[in-house]
Structure formats: structure tokens, C-alpha cells
Amino acid sequence: MKAAIRKHFPDFLAILGLLVVALVVSVYILDKQRLSLPAGVPVLGKDFFEIEAEMTTAQAVTPGQGQTVNIAGVEVGEIASVKLRDGKAIIGMKIQRKHDRIYKDASILLRPKTGLKDMVAELTPGTPEAGRLKEGGVIPISQTLPDVNLDEILASLDADTRDYLLLLLNDGAEGLGSERKGRQLAQAIRRLEPTAKYAREINEGLAERRANLARVVHNFSLLTTELGRRDTQLANFVQNSNSVFATLAEQDASLQAILQRLPGTLNTTRTTLGKVETLADTLGPTLESLRPAARALAPSLRQTRPFLRESTPIIRDELRPFTRAALPTVQELRPAMRDLAATTPDLTRSLTVANQLLNAAAYNPPGGAEEGLLFWQSWLNHTGNSVFSTADAHGPIRRGLFLVSCNSSQLLDAVAQANPQLGTLVQLLNKPSQETICPTSTQGPAAGGGAPATGG
């Protein structure tokens, strides 16, 4: 095989070149014939979105002949099939996947692209509010329009109208006079198509509003009838309004003064609103940050509901009657409470000083060298018990130790003789007798002071 190729290499190259040319020509022809390969074929494959449309007639629609589907004049797919279903023509269309945003309120118009009825389907995708049209969905016949032939228009005319139309066309041709004017008229007639389309939409809208207009007229009739029944009240209303306007006219000076003050009031209001805006700017984030706390508070509030239900009878049947019964007493206590309120500041200062005194008494210094005042409290209690444990009819008798010398005893005796009142006090001392204190008193004071004596 290799030897044959080398022997006839020029011929082999020529055959190979013919094969490449044939392949290129085949691809070109298939492309012009609009052959669509499946999406799985690399590079040449195409992915389509298939939908259907119901038509009253599919005249001149021929699948496979390059009849396209356009959106706003741009080719987005092609007419793939035509079939009959329930007396309606069903046109199948293949839309490129990247243009699959078609909605349920989409509409289709069949229009000839050439004079030979090379048809084009003009697709209006619709609005997102209607919802997406799924693959395989059907656009209903109410949203489609086929091409209208001229003979159909003429067939709707009677014989006299067709004669008049013929005269109009002949006279129009004579009036135009030249081919250039004829082309201008043809262009003007072509521009009437969008106008007719929009006029149809307007008429459909008016038809939908017929019921609304009828209801408005009916309601206006009822209103007019009711006003006719109340003519006296309307006359009174007009008279009262006249009186009100007359009063306002008399107060024109006051109204003028109010209007003169209005700019300052508006400025103040503007300033206040500016401050409120600042508050709102601060309050907004604050309230936003409080939302988690408010959400967390909800379970606690739900848990308190049983307690609130149980406490409601107590408050209604016990606390409220007690409050009503105590109200007269509280009113009588109001003067005393007023005087107590005046005394409370002085009492507060006294209690503050007493608190400081008690704090000082209860203070225990750190370490063992010194003790606080409370440490000696027990000794003070014992000593007080010993001092006040003896009493008679005149009261408690304090215990004590009385020391007196011989000379002092003689002096007290002399004072008692000179002053009876002081003598009573000397007797209450219950001092020992002179002989007990001064056993050697015959020697006189010069002999010695004598031994001290004690008395209780």
C-alpha cells in the first residue's frame, strides 16, 4: 500500500484534495440548507428550545425552507413543523437556547418576507409577570395572527364598494402622476400597519373598560338622583359655606398676621425636623440592635403567662378591695407623712453619724497588738453588773471604797456639826467611828496622823 502511494503520490494528493474540496462544499451546502446537527456534535451542534403556536391558518408556511422566527427583526430560530390538531394549524418552532426567555403572554404574527409568500414568524416574548413558557408549551390562538391576503380584504367588500375602490385607485394613480409618487404612497401605506396594530390594542382596551364605564355612569346617575332628593340640605350647605367664607373675610387681618408668622414657624419646624432626623438616625441602629434582645425576651414572656393568669384573681379579688379600703386611711396619714418628709433629712444625717459611730465601735484593727472596742464590751458588761447589782427602795447602790485618815475624820465631824445638810451627807458615808480610826487620839494630832480607815 505504501509502495503504491509513493509510486502514485501526485495522483494521491489530487484525490485527497478533491475529498477536502468535496467536504467543504458539502458543509457549505448543508449550512445553506439549514441542517441543524444535535447539541452533542462538537462545534457544529446546536441546542434548541421547542415551542408550538396555534393558528387559524398556516397558509404558505413550509418547514425546512428557511422560514425563520424573529424577535425585533433578529433571527432567533426557525419554523420546524406544521400539523393539524382539532381543526387548528399547529406550527412548531425551534428557538435557540440562548433566547429561551419566552413567557406565557407571548404573541406571534405571520408576515411575508417577499412577494412570493416567504413567511416569517414575528415573535413578541411577553412579560416576566405572566411566567415562563416551558419547553413544549403552546401559545394559544388568541395570541396569534396569520397573514391576511389582499383578496380576503377585497372579498369582504360588496360590489359597489369594490367599484368605488377601483375608481379611487384609478384616480389616485392619475393624481400621483409619476412612479416616484407611487413609491411614496406605497411607503406611506406600509407605515399604516403599526398604526392599525396600536389602534386594535386601544380598541381592545376600551372594550375591556366598557363594563367599568357603564358602572361609572350608573354610579354617577345614583349620585345625581340622591343629590336631587337632598336639594334643601344642599341649599343649607351653600348658605352655611357662604357664612363661613364671610367670617373668614372679616378675619383677613388675623389671617394675614398668621401667614406672616408662618415662614418663621416653618423654619422652626424645619430645624426641629432636622434634629428629629438626627435622633432617628441614632435611634434606628439602636432599635435594630435591640431586636435580638426582644426576640430572646419572647420565651420568658410566654413562661410568665401562667403566673399572670394565677395572679389576676388575687389582684382583682384581694389587692383591689384592700386598696379601696386603705385609701381613707392613707388620706388621713398624708399630713403626718408630710411632716415626716420634712424631718427625714435631719433624721438621715443623725442616722449617718450613728452609723459612723457604730462602724468605729465595730472596727477591729489588724494584728493581735490592739483590739477593737467590742473586745472590751464583755468586761464593761461584767463591771456594770457588779456596780448595779445592789439596790434598796431609793434605787441601785453603787459599790465603792472610801478611804479616810484620822485628821480627815475629825474635820468631817466638825463640818457635820457646823452644817446640818453636810452632816447628812457625812452620815450617809457611814464612815467608822472616831475611836476606831484614831485609837491614840488622846495624844493629839501632833502625836501622829493615825492609821487610815476604810468605810463602805
Q: What are phi and psi of 392, to 5 degrees?
A: -135, -160
pTM summary value: 0.35
Minimum mean pLDDT range among 25-39, 218-232, 441-455: 441-455
Q: Which domain holds residue 6?
A: 1-33
State how beta strands 402-404 and 68-71 pair.
unpaired
Residues 148 and 65 in one domain: yes
Confidence of residue 54 (pLDDT cuts 50, 70, 90): very high
Q: Is residue 125 within 8 Å of residue 102, measured between CB atoms?
A: yes
Res. 133 pLDDT band, cuts 50 70 90: very high
Confirm whether 407 is domain-assigned: yes
Give percent above pLDDT 70 in the chain.
89
- Is residue 126 one of the residues assigned to a domain? yes
- How does DSSP classify residue 259? H
Classify residue 142 by its DSSP letter.
Answer: G
Q: Are residues 131 and 175 in the same domain?
A: no
Lowest mean pLDDT among 42-46, 175-179, 293-297: 42-46
Quick check: 37 pLDDT over 60? Answer: no
Structurally, the chain folds into a number of domains equal to 5
One domain, residues 86 and 174? no
pLDDT of amino acid 104 = 92
Q: Based on the domain organization, do 54 and 142 belong to the same domain? A: yes
Give a yes or no: residue 173 inside a domain. yes
247 with 179, same domain? yes
Measured distance CA(409)–CA(426) in Å, rounded: 10
In this structure, the answer to whether residues 52 and 145 fall within a common structural domain is yes
pLDDT for 319 beyond 70: yes
Residue 383 lies in a domain: no
Tell me: do 52 and 125 sit in the same domain: yes
Strand order in the sheet with 68-71: 138-139, 48-55, 88-96, 74-85, 68-71, 119-124, 107-112, 144-145
- The pLDDT assigned to 445 comes to 45
C-alpha cell at 35: 441542517
Start-to-end Cα distance in the chain: 162
The answer to whether residue 308 is domain-embedded is yes
pLDDT of residue 151: 78
pLDDT in tens, 396-424: 776 667 778 888 888 888 888 888 888 88
The Cα-based distances of 12 to 8, 16, 18, 23 in angstroms read: 6, 6, 10, 17
Let me know if residue 330 belongs to a domain.
yes
Average pLDDT score, the chain = 82
Instruction: Using the predicted structure, report yes or no on whether residue 182 has a pLDDT greater than 80.
Output: no
The answer on 195 and 131 residing in a single domain is no
Q: Is residue 186 part of a domain?
A: yes
pLDDT at residue 109, as a whole number: 92
Q: For the ranges 3-7, 54-58, 267-271, 404-408, which has the lowest average pLDDT?
A: 3-7
Q: What is the pLDDT of residue 144?
A: 93
Report in angstroms the alpha-carbon separations of 321 from 219, 291, 307, 334: 60, 40, 21, 20
The domain boundary residue, chosen from 133, 152, 171: 152
Residue 1 lies in a domain: yes
Residues 141 and 62 in one domain: yes
More confident residue, 209 or 305: 305
- Tell me what pLDDT residue 42 has: 54
Confidence of residue 443 (pLDDT cuts 50, 70, 90): very low
Q: Are strands 88-96 and 48-55 parallel, antiparallel or unpaired?
A: antiparallel
H helix or E strand, kind and range, residue 164: helix 159-176
Mean pLDDT, residues 346-356: 89
Domain boundary, last residue among 318, 346, 374:
346
53 and 144 part of one domain: yes
Do residues 205 and 178 both lie within one domain? yes
